[in-house]
Amino acid sequence: MRSGAFVFSQLMEFVPRHDFQACVRRYRGDLRLRGFSCRDQFLCLAFAQLTFRESLRDIETCLRALGPKLYHAGFRGRVSRSTLADAARAHDWRIYADFAQVLIERARKLYAGDPLDVQLDRTVYALDATTIDLCLSLFPWARFRRRKGAVKLHTLLDLRGNIPCFIHISHGKMHDVTALDVLPIEPGAYYVMDRGYVDFARLHRFTQQAAFFVTRAKRNLDATRRARRRVDRSTGLRCDQTIVLAGPKSSRLYPDPLRRIAYCDEETGRRFVFLTNNFALPALTIAQLYKCRWQVELFFKWIKQHLRIKAFYGTTDNAVKTQVWIAISVYVLVAIIKKELKLERSLNDILQILSITLFEKTPLFEALSTKNAHDFPSRCPNQLTLFD
């Protein structure tokens, strides 16, 4: 870390500038640069996410109050509401989507060794979607209901580190299961989904590409039992069967055998029936895998509470997607810092501390560490040593 640098500057040193500029060049983001580059926009919106700014006026007021500090923090363009609004319309949101993928790949490598709640060496993903309500009069392109607008975030979460590795932003009318058409499938990985994703033609893609899925069966499932395996009923398991679909359409769309597992939760008394194309794992492990799916629900709750993705700084499709992708980049960046600096604090605590220390000249590790200030050696970088 550079001695005497602002916390914000130290934070942005974790952002690979070469990769960011590669994304900008890919979509010609700075082709008609008028004093406000894509990097300036990224810095402004990252500042807004970290300090919980409410509007463009709020961003402008706070940044202008910092005066000359902005230059030393990396800002080069003049910050104003009109400039930020123009950038939200002109700079392609795919620049920030591609750059978020760069950070995501880096974060996944850092968290690859983290343990799962289930003893499993493979990658486990949780897939789900969340809806963000919008005002239809301000966002007419996002029609959801007759008098309501919305966008959906279809998210694939790597359960090691809770890193979102795939996000598809759509209008509110898009059904959750449609996201399977654009979902990248990794051979050997496990995909955990709720029963809203039960579409046998789409699920058969996982089997064809040597990946595994775990989902819940619908109540009207038409199937024939081919074999069964003994289960320990004291663990909550009720049955473990090999089935084939019996419906004329479903059997054609998914002709291979499936595994059906029934499980009863002792705490709530609820009965769950799971479907999977994996026949090797123990039945109880399949039930535990589905329980891990709750992590994606907690992820949605966390980002809605701690990031600015429910109120937007612009009303265009491009502005909304830009803000969402920069918010995801900030989330992943904080996760990278937590791992690389080996911090004991939670992501929420780190965000809260950053929100009040961004323009202080404190070493980043010292600002975010759980140690007391007197535990660190005193620093006086501008004072020469008089005596050895």
Say whether both 14 and 89 belong to one domain. yes
Say whether both 11 and 90 belong to one domain. yes
In a domain, 302, yes or no: no
Say whether both 268 and 333 belong to one domain. no
Angstrom distances, CA of residue 220 to CA of 242, 248, 254: 17, 14, 16
Q: How confident is the model at residue 147 (pLDDT cuts 50, 70, 90)?
A: confident
pLDDT at 12: 93
What CATH number does residue 263 fall under?
3.30.1370
Residue 24 and residue 99: Cα distance in Å, rounded? Answer: 9
Residue 32 and residue 269: Cα distance in Å, rounded? Answer: 62
In this prediction, residues 361-373 reach a mean pLDDT of 84
In a domain, 165, yes or no: no
In a domain, 2, yes or no: no
Q: How many domains does the chain have?
A: 2
Say whether both 274 and 327 belong to one domain. no
pLDDT at 76: 86
Q: How confident is the model at residue 28 (pLDDT cuts 50, 70, 90)?
A: confident
Q: Residue 192, SS3? A: strand
Give per-residue pLDDT as tens, 90-104: 899 999 999 999 999
Say whether both 226 and 262 belong to one domain. yes
Say whether both 39 and 90 belong to one domain. yes
In a domain, 236, yes or no: yes
In a domain, 149, yes or no: no
Q: How confident is the model at residue 150 (pLDDT cuts 50, 70, 90)?
A: very high
In a domain, 186, yes or no: no
pLDDT at 250: 93
Rg (Cα) of the chain, in Å, rounded? 24
Q: How confident is the model at residue 291 (pLDDT cuts 50, 70, 90)?
A: very high
Say whether both 19 and 89 belong to one domain. yes
Say whether both 19 and 68 belong to one domain. yes
Closest to 43 in 3D by CA, of 10, 8, 68, 16: 8
- Strands 190-192, 212-216: pairing kind: parallel
11 touches 368 (CB < 8 A) = no
Q: In this structure, what is the dihedral angle of CA atoms 143, 145, 149, 154, given to the nearest 10 degrees?
A: -80
Residue 290 and residue 352: Cα distance in Å, rounded? Answer: 32
Say whether both 205 and 285 belong to one domain. yes
Domain around 232: 194-291
The gap from C-alpha 266 to its chain's centroid, in whole angstroms, comes to 32
- Domain boundary among the residues 291, 307, 329 is at 291
In a domain, 64, yes or no: yes
In a domain, 303, yes or no: no
Residue 46 has pLDDT above 60, yes or no: yes
State the pTM of this model: 0.90
Give per-residue pLDDT as tens, 66-81: 988 988 888 888 889 9
